[in-house]
Amino acid sequence: MTQDALSRRAILVGGAALMAAAPLMTMAQGAGPKVHVMKDPNCGCCSAWIEILERDGFDVTTEPSLGTLLMRYKLDNGIPQEMFSCHTGRVEGYMIEGHVPVADIRRLLDERPDAVGLAVPGMPYGSPGMGPQSEREAYEVFLIRQDGTTEVFNRYTAA
C-alpha cells in the first residue's frame, strides 16, 4: 500500500511539474509570433538578430534573397529607401526592417497602429545583432506610416 501511495504521489508531482513547465517548453519551441525574414544567406548580423528573436519566443522562418530582389521586396512592401537595412521581416502584417529590438516589436504588436511597420535604418553598432549593447551607438527606431512618412517610435542613447 505504501508503494502504491508513493507511485501515485510521484505521478501527481510529475504531472504537476509537466503542467507548470508546459508554457516554457512552448516558448522554447517558438510558439510566439511568427516572423518571416528575407535576408542574404551569408549575413552573420541577420542571423544574430534572428537568434535574438528566437530566444525571446518568436517563431522565425527565413528566406534567402539577394540584391535587387531584396530591394524590390522592401519597396513593394512600403519600406522607404531611406529606411533600408540588411534584412526585412514580416510579423502579423507588419514589416520589420533591420535591427529592431524585440521590445519595440512587441510594443508594435500590442499597440497595433495603422502603419507599415518599424525600421532601424543602416546597421547601428550595438543594436540587436550588431555587437554588444554596452558599446552601443545612439540610434532610433522609426514607425513607417501607410503614406510612407516616418516618425520616431523609440530612441536608444549611446552606451
pLDDT in tens, 63-100: 999 899 999 999 999 999 999 999 999 999 999 999 99
pLDDT of residue 66: 87
Q: Is the dihedral of CA 128, 101, 34, 38 positive or negative?
A: negative
pLDDT of residue 16: 45
Over the stretch 30-54, which tens digit does the pLDDT of each residue have? Answer: 479 999 999 988 888 999 999 999 9
Summary mean pLDDT of the chain: 87
Q: What is the DSSP letter of 133?
A: G
Query: pLDDT band for position 3 (50/70/90)?
Result: low
Q: Is 131 exposed, middle or buried (0-12, 13-18, 19+ CB in 10 A)?
A: middle
CA trace torsion 6, 9, 10, 13 (10° rounding) = -160
pLDDT of residue 31: 76
Mean pLDDT across 150-158: 98
- DSSP H helices, the chain, are 2-28, 44-55, 67-76, 102-111
Write the DSSP string, 137-158. Answer: PPEEEEEEETTS-EEEEEEE--
Q: Which residues pair with 62 in a beta bridge?
A: 37
pLDDT of residue 12: 47
The region that residue 105 occupies, defined by phi over 0 for left and psi between -120 and 50 for alpha, beta otherwise, is alpha
Threshold 0.95, pTM exceeds: no
The region that residue 13 occupies, defined by phi over 0 for left and psi between -120 and 50 for alpha, beta otherwise, is alpha
pLDDT of residue 22: 45
In whole angstroms, give the CA distance from residue 48 to residue 87: 11
pLDDT of residue 9: 54
CA angle 32, 33, 35 (to 5 degrees): 125
Mean pLDDT across 150-157: 98
Over the stretch 10-36, which tens digit does the pLDDT of each residue have? Answer: 444 444 444 444 444 444 444 799 999
Does position 158 have pLDDT exceeding 70, yes or no? yes
Side-chain half-sphere exposure of 78, counting CA atoms within 13 A: 20
CATH of domain 32-156: 3.40.30
